[in-house]
Structure 1
Amino acid sequence: MRLWYQSMTRPDAWPAYSAALRRLLSTAADPGTEFAVHGITRRGGIGDQYRSLEFIETIEVLENATRAEAEGFDAVLLGNIADPGLRQAREMLNIPVLGLCETALLTACQMGASIGLVVANDKHHGRVMENVALAGLTSRVVAVERMTVDRLVDLDTAFAEGPVRDRILGQFQEAAAACVARGAEVVIPAAGVAMVLVAEAGVHDAGRGTPVLNAAVALLKAGETAVKLNWLMGGRFTSRRGAYAQPPADQIAELRRAYGPIFPGIQEPGT
């Protein structure tokens, strides 16, 4: 199977993270699983904690999701804690689309009864909690603690030994311990770069038997499972009733005249 892993980082601004992510996914992928990591290349890719900048970048995410299906990928994995474009991509594509935040939350629910989140900064807090609410899991999140990484690209520096790495890992461990003290049974590093950094540093326990979830790997493994289910279900993994319903075929020609080449999996009548 082939998985498209979509990051919201600009590769030239995050070289250490990009390399670490590929190492991590290579170790975790099943035999026969191929993955391709794609970042943001046109505009942005360094400050998606701001809603307006996330919105700008999401256009490229959705275009890449369409490209992934056209190129024969079996699933799209959105590797950003905001799950940018998740619901829109699910509506558009005929292959499974999974998001980092949603997958992390659902996986954590299988690991423990209560969840603690460690966000990168104050700006991330509200955005992540919106996703928690969308997943219907507000009651399961008992603690949210903050690091102080206001300039997100500082996280890339932390992949090399030195004071930046020590400071950021120290902040995470302190925040994770605070989550445990408030009753969390599982801790999620709630930033895609941070979870890879923490995993590479070998931090898998927040104390008192509380696991630290490596959600980037959880996303990859969930993607593999979703693809297999999609195959077994005859391509019916994503519901087409309600939230992810697609336009009827007899309207698609009119919509394409107005919007361009949308919903590539829908065939126009008579074609």
Structure 2
Amino acid sequence: MKLCWIHPTARNPALEPLWQTIHQTVSASVAKEVQLDFRFLEGSGGFTRSLYAEHLNSVLMVEAALKAEADGYDGVYLGCWNDPLWEAREMLNIPVASVGEQSMLAALAIGQRFAVITVSDKTAGAIERDIIGYGLGDRCIARPVRTIQPFSDAGLLLEAVHAPAERLIPRLEAVAHECIADGADVILVGCAYYGPLLRRAGYRLVQGTQVPVMDSSTVALKYLEAMVGVAQCTGVAKSSAGLFAGITPANIAQARKSLGLV
């Protein structure tokens, strides 16, 4: 089984310790027979904390997903909560997983009501939009997506590689206790990078509670393994009716050509 993890940005050399740690941590979680490769975007602006910037970035992510399918991968993983999941599913014929949808579905199996703690208010808005779109509003708390304060930045990401207890965990726990008071019994880490870093550090429960803090990235990646397994056993990777029905190749080719993608 060959899986391709697509990052939402270009490979910023300043974050190399983060990339190396994330890749090592999540690669150790997949089954032995799974080949997991990581790809970054070419030409990405490296910014998704804007509805418009996310929209632009989504085009590049779907293009990378199409390339992965053409290169023979069995499944594609969109490694950001700001993801073009349905757009990619429309275009690909192999399983496509996202951090958000797959970890939310996993939360339904281990708790009654989940909450997501993310890295900025703009990201929170995008995730809440997805919760509504996925029809999961009844299985999360009121105001289900909340943000650490101050917001995450590159400095916090790099610090969390070696010392998440310094600033990241206190910021997350301050919000997590509010979510628990409002009924959450599962906390999802609303960032594709912080989840593996917290799990690597052994952080799995909100302090003083039995509420799990889910490494959303690794959980969603394991779900992709299962999705590919189901597709290989049954021959069904997705529905080809309704929203994900195939599009006339000539129409898509014209749209891609108009944007200079081909």
After TM superposition, the score normalised by the length of structure 2 is: 0.89
The share of aligned pairs that are identical, in percent, is 24
Question: What is aligned with 1:196?
Answer: 196
Structure 1 residues not aligned, in runs of 5+: 262-271
Deviations, residues 187-236 of structure 1 (Å, cap 9, x unaligned): 011111221222222210014211111111112111111111111112x2
After TM superposition, the score normalised by the length of structure 1 is: 0.86
Structure 1 pair 260/81, CA: closer, same or farther in 2 (3 Å)? closer
Structure 2 residues not aligned, in runs of 5+: 258-262
**SS of the residue 1:159 aligns to:** helix
**SS of the residue 1:102 aligns to:** helix
Question: What is aligned with 2:117?
Answer: 118
Deviations, residues 222-259 of structure 1 (Å, cap 9, x unaligned): 1111111111112x220011010003xxx53x426624
CA distance in 2, matches of 1:146, 1:255: 40
Structure 1 pair 213/151, CA: closer, same or farther in 2 (3 Å)? closer
CA distance in 2, matches of 1:85, 1:212: 25
Question: What is aligned with 1:180?
Answer: 180
Structure 1 pair 257/193, CA: closer, same or farther in 2 (3 Å)? closer
Deviations, residues 60-119 of structure 1 (Å, cap 9, x unaligned): 21111111011100000111112x221111111110111111011100010100112112
Question: What is aligned with 2:106?
Answer: 107
**SS of the residue 1:57 aligns to:** helix
CA distance in 1, matches of 2:134, 2:180: 22
Q: What is the CA-CA distance between 1:40 and the residue it aligns to? A: 2.7
Question: What is aligned with 2:139?
Answer: 140
Question: What is aligned with 2:237?
Answer: 237
Residue 78 of structure 1 aligns with an amino acid whose one-letter code is: L
More deviation in 96-105 or 54-63? 54-63
Aligned pairs for 1:68-107 within 5 A: 68-82=68-82, 84-107=83-106
Aligned pairs for 1:2-81 within 5 A: 2-12=2-12, 13-45=14-46, 47-81=47-81
Deviations, residues 157-187 of structure 1 (Å, cap 9, x unaligned): 223546x861222101221222222211100
CA distance in 1, matches of 2:26, 2:123: 24
CA distance in 2, matches of 1:217, 1:117: 15
Q: What is the CA-CA distance between 1:39 and the residue it aligns to? A: 2.1
Question: What is aligned with 1:267?
Answer: none
**SS of the residue 1:49 aligns to:** coil
CA distance in 2, matches of 1:72, 1:144: 36
CA distance in 2, matches of 1:256, 1:52: 21
Question: What is aligned with 2:130?
Answer: 131
Structure 1 pair 182/256, CA: closer, same or farther in 2 (3 Å)? closer
Structure 1 pair 92/173, CA: closer, same or farther in 2 (3 Å)? same
**SS of the residue 1:76 aligns to:** strand
Residue 89 of structure 2 aligns with an amino acid whose one-letter code is: R
CA distance in 1, matches of 2:253, 2:192: 38
Question: Between Structure 1 and Structure 2, whose CA radius of gyration is higher?
Answer: 1
Does the alignment pair 1:156 with 2:152? Answer: no
Runs (4+) of structure 1 exceeding 4 A deviation are: none
Q: What is the CA-CA distance between 1:57 and the residue it aligns to? A: 1.6
Contact 1:16–1:156 at 8 Å: present in 2 too?
no
**SS of the residue 2:5 aligns to:** strand
Residue 27 of structure 1 aligns with an amino acid whose one-letter code is: A
**SS of the residue 1:196 aligns to:** helix
Structure 1 pair 40/228, CA: closer, same or farther in 2 (3 Å)? same
Structure 1 pair 9/155, CA: closer, same or farther in 2 (3 Å)? farther
CA distance in 2, matches of 1:176, 1:257: 46
Equivalenced residues, count: 253
CA distance in 1, matches of 2:152, 2:221: 27
